[in-house]
Structure 1
Amino acid sequence: MIGNSSHRLHPLSVACMVLAGTLGPHASLLATAQEARLEEVVVTARKRSENLMDIPESVSAIAAIEVERRNIKGLNKIGLAIPNLNLSMRTDGYPNVTIRGVGAYGMTQGVGFYLDDVQLFSDASSRFGDIERIEVLKGPQGVLYGGSNIGGAVKYVSKAPSTESLEGRIKVLGGEQGIWDIEGDINIPLSDKWALRAFAFTREDDGFMRNPGSLSPVFGVDYNQPEDVTASEQSGGRIVLAGDISDSFSMTASVRYNEYDGPVNNWAREMGTPPKMEYPLTLDTSQNPRHERETFGARLELNLDLGNVEFKSITSYTDTESDRLTDVDLTQLWFFNTFRPETMEVMTQEFRFSSTGDGPLQWVAGVYAMDFEETMTSTLDFGWIVIDGVDPTTGVKVPFETRQEDKSNLAAFGNITYETGAWELGLGLRVDRWESEEEAVDIGHSASKDDVEILPKLSVTRNFQNDSMAYLTISKGFEPGGWVGIADGAPPVYGPNGEKTLAGFDPEEAIQYELGWKGSLADGRVQASAALFFIDYDNRQFEFIVPNPSGDGTLIDGIENIGDSEQTGIELGLTWQASDYLQVAAAYGYIDAEWDSNTILPDGSANLGGQTPPQIIEHSTTVTANFQMPAFGDFDFVANLQLSHNGTMEGGKPSGGTVQNPEFTVMDVQVGVVSDRWELMLNLDNAFDERYYTDVEPFPNFSFGGLTGSEPGEIIIGTHGHPRLFTASATYRF
């Protein structure tokens, strides 16, 4: 049914990000001056509304007030907020993300991203506003969410239209590096049964990295590249219409649009060596890497109340078009520049039945279908190669890959829980079938395959009388297989009948065993949690980039299976309502991971057994404190602090080598005054101006020295975390 709750802030509310699931409920928990208790946090991680503290698995949630006050507008801040979540921003639509060490950077995608229960296959790194909460589900989510959720899921839940009142908000933020960010939303009741909600934003940012030299040292050609290499512009919005068609039948329809023009994976050329990195804030390239992306999405949700059963249908369509220009060699030489236009269309359909009421038996069951189509053309520009009659400012453009990919997914799933006395038993099962067809159009190679997986889940929960519970959950997830890109001129691959085909990679699988405890103490003023997990991770997928065997200078990128690994870890969380005005939370995550013995690289060049796989942060800690008390008139004084520490991480790819990313600590601070209508805030991100990389990896040295041997043939590249940034914002509500 259509929502009818107001989103105004309580004048004495104290909000805190509290770490959830194994780390306590990571949400905005409001405390009144009368009770100073932590409020219940309701999430839909199991596709029904329930108290986060009652779920026998690790779930974190960030509520609307925290998303707004902490200016969470992208993935990097989410990653810093939750231990054992390694998440950073890529602008090509595919985030760098692992949860508990499951998943990998690059083209592999072991964590699913969702907006209102629709998976974001093509623009997971887009900005989404007017958010009610962000949920992070840790561990394999195979039963309810299917493949591509082997590590977990990140869910955005948007605010629903309300028939209660006309209300809205406008927020203006400005600050260093030429940042101007304007966003607003409005809720319009159309009748006592229908309402409309709209959100829009626009942002300009000059960025923090510079490209001082765009003059080619070879040809003396000025490419007129702007110095602000990380400058970006974004805009977008969403319109939602919701209403009751009858007493038992309701619908919600929405459309969204997002436009991005900015950098694409801006790697800095690191001249130091671990642990003494130099962290240069300049590029020295002939071309500024750019990415232009437009996304349109539509969603229709139908709900039918059948008495003791609710039926839900969710239909979605997403269309994304993008152009990416990358200066691969990272030098002033016009040497390796790639241009990749890409189009993606995705359609999904889910039919779901679920129980209603408060009985001991609760269940959800349904079917799901998805169709994904992608077309990508890649051109490599050799600007430094001068051929008679060719203008050196034009270069030599070599098409090296034209790819078409069609993927489909069909699944049936069910999950049931039964409560008897102090015990609850949960059983889940999903049958997931993936089909994929890929064609390398330029060379006439094609291939198809299908994978069928049975994904079970089992949970046992023991509830205690002191508002606490213990649980054991076993779950399985998988990431589908696919095909490796092959460039023009590469040696052909032949199938069993002699036909030209593509090299494939197999699905990866993970089984997680989690033993946990959650509880409320001190008359509801303290919430604590702990979890121990073990993950058996088989046939792991990793990205690779290698030279074309034909020797024509082009590159082949794709995905390969490396081997098996094991991850063991712990997570601890504590939230304390210290007073009517202060909340404090702390959370810690630890992962110990290693490759199984005799894990041999596909080319046989090395045995990885006993080594730590890439993209695993051993230690991660988050501490938050939120303070709010009456100041003057209708205004409260607000102060928020978040301190995040990430330990060392091995960055890179197994086949390309790894390098250690040093540990770092980031502190964000917000202070200001708020009332029911106004919010005036000063924001200082990365207050210590910590220099750090969100990811690093070895990379070929394409400078002349590297090619001739007078310099190392390999360098380190890294993607910068944001340096210190000061901004101020003003919000008005009506």
Structure 2
Amino acid sequence: MNRYIKTALLAGAAWSALSSFAMAQDAAPQDGATTVDDVVVTARRRAEVLQDVPIAVTAIGAEALENRGTADITELARTTPSLTLNSARGSNSTLISFIRGVGQQDPLWGFDPGVGLYIDDVYVARPQAAVLDIFDVERIEVLRGPQGTLYGRNTIGGAIKYVTRRIGDESLISMKGAYGSYDQFDAIGTVSGPVSDTVGFSAGVARYLRDGYGTNRNTGTEHYNKDVTAARASVEWTPDDSLFFRLAGDYVKDSSNARHGHREFAPIPANEYDTFAGAGDKNEVETRGISLTGEWQANDWLTLKSVTAYRDGSTRGNIDFDNLPGPILDIPAQYDDDQLSQEFQALMEGDRWSGVAGVFFLDATASGAFDTVVGAFNLTTLTSGSVDTKSWSAFGDFSYDVTDQLSVSVGGRFTHDEKTGTVYRQQYLGIRSPYFGNSSAIPLLPVRTNYTDTKEFEEFTPRVSVTYEITPDLTTYASWGRGFKSGGFDMRGDAIAYPATVDGYDPETVETIELGMKGRLFNNFTFATAVFDSAYEDQQITTQYPSGATITSVVDNVGSSSIRGWEFEGQFRVTDNLVLNGMLSYIDAQFDEFLAYVPTLSGNTTCPTLPGCFIDVADQRDFQNTPEWTGAISGTYTHNFSDGSYLNFTPSAAYRGAYQQFEIAAPLLDQESYWMYDASAVWTSASDRWTVALNGKNLSDERYKTGGYNFPGVPTGNSIIAFYGAPRTYTFSVGVKF
């Protein structure tokens, strides 16, 4: 009970103060007061006003994204509490996401993310090509905390929903062109509108080109460049008022050069975006998806919904771990994945109750291969394999209004996962294996790993919440819920160095209690705040370490941790022309137990068993990608011209506290706290036909690390490599609608 009491006490003072303000505002004069529009979200799979949703949700609409000049979803981390979004180390478009300390830095096939990504209602199982560029979007919702009931699969940290535009009643053609720093050139075109009384069509194409922020000093090739093509299309059919169908497809191709990072140990390139890498600059990522959504409003209280989707993708690239011309520690790699999913939902609404129930099925395969080339020993280790996942679940969530002010919600989800993993690991004498083009490589026996195994996992994840409406403009809630991520198999596992790898690893769970309040004060200030306390059990951690003449990996359930925090976000309309936005979050994440596998102590008194043992090192580990404090403040000032046109000016500042790249401190890689400053100016014509924008990002030219590799030592070339976020950039764009 201590955990619950502490959380309640943490919230108590703030709740009392805000409640007092709310009572006071009822007596305040309202004449002439400005108001903030209600925001509608689908966080609980049904349309609801944000104030009524007992979940910590940040919803950002298309207009706000445009005013801030948001380029892709990683920029949401600058304005959203407790959120980390980055491109993966060595990648341009693979997404690394953390919410409230829970996430995934390992994007290898077969290792599931801890934050679920959804394009509309379609779950995206793999992080490759998931750094989505912002175009033709209606809004983005970020749900914080475990979403194990309604979303289920791999949402123990939270979920990100990318909601595209529905087709309107009027035909619309829009075009946008942009030019910016480093010869950036973007071209986006969309068309949408009715084809007949019952059929609508939309399509959009985007082309993103940019020179590199740096140069590969070994090959002369651009480094950190961008070469991306993205497209979407949909057809909507509404035969009558009760039926709706939508067929949608999307495609992304990323041909940007391989990102090798920057050496943080001598020799060190002077420019943080330069490299000396010799592994190769070719890189290509391709992903595509198609979905069919059907809705039937059977009667006044029941709507039936079906979402059928298929997605697949491939990645071909090179990562140079040492960032030097020779093959000291090089990783050529390829990934492939496909997924078929089906979800049926029944959405129900009565006079005092509402809810959703359904079933979900996923059949997915993720596979790949990579070489670990250690040139000092003329040795290559080939790692290859696949994971087949079959998952089904049944879920429901229902709310009942006990009184006009008090509402209770109860939900649950039962999930069954079956995973079949195949792992193969073989060493060769030579630079690269036959799989990656060296037919003369000589296999060295014995085979390090060669097995196929199947494991099944089941979990019930309930959620309960109570919502109380203090006033019509202020709502408070308390919730308790569980999230679950199934276990699996370590695709890098070396059965000789770590025999237990063939047994795989177990599921992890997060249990969270949350107290929140959201609403409006004095008719011009909207806010949402929450305190949370999470118990993280059987946490899956990937640890890589040098082992002899190669790199070995261990994925294990290291133990348990406690994550507590507070979040606040608000909007204050100062005048009709000036709106201020802000957010602040605090996270205290501590390992209670961290059982690390220690092969280097084998045979001594500390670890007497061979080939190694587990030691609790919780006092020596910290959470990765989880700063204690994050914050942001921005303002949008609107100037209206006499001809009816208007200008929105939006300066912003975002703060991010210090954080580690890995659980083990790495002084050359860990990032100190920093501020990020942006500013955007968007002019819109009186007819809304023309827009002209100037966006400046990272105006102080802050050099901040977003990822890294840490393999010190002579055989690995002292491979301490950092990857950096974008430098200062400016973009000028012009858009037109017809």
**Structure-1-length-normalised TM-score:** 0.85
In the TM superposition, what is the alpha-carbon distance from 1:35 to its structure 2 partner? Answer: 6.2
Alpha-carbon distance in structure 1 between the residues aligned to 2:667 and 2:281: 24
Q: Is the 8 A contact 1:652 1:659 kept in 2?
A: no
Cα distance, 1:135 vs structure 2: 0.2
Provide the rounded CA distance (Å) in 1 between the counterparts of 2:164 and 2:122.
12
Amino acid at match of 1:687: L
- Cα displacement (A) at 1:485: 2.3
Gaps of 5+ in 2: 1-30, 426-448, 599-613
- Give secondary structure in 1 for the equivalent of 2:633: strand
CA distance in 1 between counterparts of 2:279 and 2:252 reads 25
Deviations 1:644-689 (A, max 9, x none): 0001112214499996420010011012421211111111101111
- Give the whole-Å Cα distance in 2 for the aligned partners of 1:366 and 1:657: 48
SS, match of residue 63 in structure 2: helix
Shift of residue 726, structure 1, vs aligned partner? 1.1
Q: 5+ residue gaps in structure 1?
A: 1-32, 215-224, 387-395, 495-500
Does residue 570 of structure 1 match 2:580?
A: no
For the pair 1:426 / 2:409, whether they are aligned, the reply is: yes
Aligned to 2:511: 511
Deviation at 1:205, TM superposition (A): 1.1
Cα separation, 1, equivalents of 2:348 and 2:645:
44
1:139-161 CA distances to partner (integer Å, 9 max, x unpaired)? 00000011310000000000011
Whole-angstrom distance in 2 between the partners of 1:539 and 1:206:
44
SS in 2 for 1:505: coil
Letter in 2 for 1:621: G
Matched, 1:533 2:524: no
In the TM superposition, what are the counterparts of 1:383-402 in structure 2 within 5 Å? 398=380, 400-402=382-384
Residue by residue, what CA displacement relative to the aligned partner does 1:605-647 show, whole Å, maximum 9, x if unpaired? 5622385322211000010101112124232122011210001
**2:578 counterpart letter in structure 1:** L
Higher deviation after alignment, 117-126 or 465-474: 117-126
Residue of structure 2 in register with 1:701 after alignment: 712
Q: Separation in 2 of the partners of 1:48 and 1:636?
A: 35
Question: Are residues 1:581 and 2:567 paired?
Answer: no
Separation in structure 2 between the aligned mates of residue 621 and residue 714 of structure 1, nearest angstrom: 35
* Corresponding residue number in structure 2 for 1:479: 485
Which amino acid is the alignment partner of residue 199 of structure 2?
W
- The residue aligned with 1:415 is 397
**2:294 corresponds to which residue?**
302
* Residue-by-residue CA offset, 1:169-203 (whole Å, 9 max, x unaligned): 11111111111011121112111211001111001
Distance (Å, rounded) in 1 between the aligned partners of 2:540 and 2:270:
31
Query: For 1:53, what is the secondary structure of its paired residue?
Result: helix
For residue 92 of structure 1, report the CA deviation from its aligned partner.
Answer: 6.8
The 2-side partners of 1:452 and 1:117 are apart by 23
Does residue 1:372 correspond to 2:384, yes or no?
no
Match for residue 52 of structure 1? 50
8 Å contact 2:72–2:132 — kept in the other structure? yes
- CA drift of 1:59 comes to 0.3
- Given that 2:384 and 2:491 are in contact with CA atoms closer than 8 Å, whether structure 1 keeps it comes out as no
- TM-aligned CA deviation for residue 83 of structure 1: 2.2
Name which of structure 1's ranges 460-469 and 307-316 shifts more when overlaid on structure 2: 460-469
Secondary structure in structure 1 of the residue aligned to 2:288: strand
Q: What residue identity is the alignment partner of 1:506?
A: D
Please give the alpha-carbon distance, in whole angstroms, between the structure 2 residues aligned to 1:715 and 1:343: 27
Would you say the 8 A contact 2:337–2:366 is kept in 1?
yes
What's the counterpart of residue 627 of structure 2? 617
Provide the rounded CA distance (Å) in 1 between the counterparts of 2:140 and 2:459.
29
Deviation per CA, 1:377-411: give whole Å up to 9, x if none: 2234456777xxxxxxxxx7x46122022011100
Partner secondary structure for residue 69 of structure 1: helix
Over residues 521-543 of structure 1, what are the superposed CA-to-partner deviations in whole Å (9 max), with x where a residue is unaligned?
11x21112321110111111122
Moved more, 634-643 or 474-483: 634-643
**1:729 maps to amino acid:** S
**Deviates most, 602-611 or 132-141:** 602-611
In 1, are the aligned partners of 2:106 and 2:542 still within 8 Å (CA)? yes
**What's 1:252 paired with?**
246
Q: CA deviation at 1:374?
A: 2.1
Partner of 1:109: 113
Asked whether the 8 Å contact 2:222–2:257 carries over to 1, the reply is no
Alignment check: 8 A CA contact 1:650 1:661 kept: yes
By how many angstroms is 1:256 displaced? 1.2
Q: Distance in 2 between matches of 1:326 and 1:94?
A: 13
Matches within 5 A, 1:77-476: 77-90=75-88, 91=91, 94-107=94-107, 109-122=113-126, 123-127=129-133, 129-162=135-168, 164-212=169-217, 214=218, 225-264=219-258, 266-271=260-265, 280-288=272-280, 290-307=282-299, 308-356=301-349, 359-381=351-373, 398=380, 400-421=382-403, 422-441=405-424, 444-476=450-482
Paired with 2:238 and 2:724, the residues of 1 have a C-alpha distance of 48
Name the counterpart of 2:661: 651
Does the CA-based 8 Å contact 2:668-2:720 persist in structure 1?
no
In 2: Cα distance, 1:290 partner to 1:593 partner: 39
Letter in 2 for 1:191: S
Amino acid at match of 2:597: P
Q: Deviations over 1:76-128 (max 9, x none)?
A: 21111212101112237642221111223223511000001111123422435
Q: Distance in 2 between matches of 1:402 and 1:331?
A: 25
Distance in structure 1 (CA, Å) of the matches to 2:666 and 2:302? 53
Tell me what 1:10 maps to: none
Alignment of 1:627 onto 2:637: yes
| Equivalent position SS for 2:254 | strand
Match of 1:219 in 2: none
Contact in 2 for aligned 1:404/1:441 (Cα 8 Å): no
Match for residue 690 of structure 1? 702
> Could you tell me the percent identity over the aligned residues?
26
CA gap 1:438/1:614 in 2 versus in 1, 3 angstroms: same
Q: Within 1, Cα distance between the matches of 2:563 and 2:71?
A: 31
In structure 1, what is the equivalent of residue 24 of structure 2? none
C-alpha deviations, 1:507-561, integer Å up to 9, x for none?
1110011011112111x2111232111011111112222345xx4x333345322
Name the counterpart of 2:603.
none
Matched residues in 1 for 2:155 and 2:364: separation? 17
| 1:560 partnered with 2:556 | yes
- Give the Cα–Cα distance (whole angstroms) in 2 for the partners of residues 284 and 174 of structure 1: 29
Q: 1:566 offset after TM fit, Å?
A: 0.3
Q: Residue 238 of structure 1: CA displacement?
A: 0.7
SS in structure 1 of the partner of residue 652 of structure 2: strand
Deviation at 1:716, TM superposition (A): 4.1
Kindly state the Cα deviation for residue 244 of structure 1 after the two structures are TM-superposed.
Answer: 1.2
Provide closer, same or farther for how the CA distance between residues 607 and 487 of structure 1 changes in structure 2, counting only shifts above 3 A.
Answer: closer
The alpha-carbon deviation at position 248 of structure 1 amounts to 2.0
Take 2:503 and 2:173, find their aligned partners in 1: how far apart are those partners? Answer: 53
AA matched with 1:420: V
CA distance, structure 2, for counterparts of residue 634 and residue 715 of structure 1: 58
Alpha carbons of 1:515 and 1:289: their partners in 2 closer, same or farther (altered >3 Å)? farther
What TM-score, normalized to structure 2? 0.84
Determine the C-alpha separation between the residues in 1 that align with 2:123 and 2:283: 22
Cα distance in 1, alignment partners of residues 588 and 288 from structure 2: 41
Question: What is the alpha-carbon distance in structure 2 between the residues aligned to residue 557 and residue 181 of structure 1?
Answer: 40
Distance 1:514 1:677, change over 3 A: same
- Other-structure match for 1:718: 722
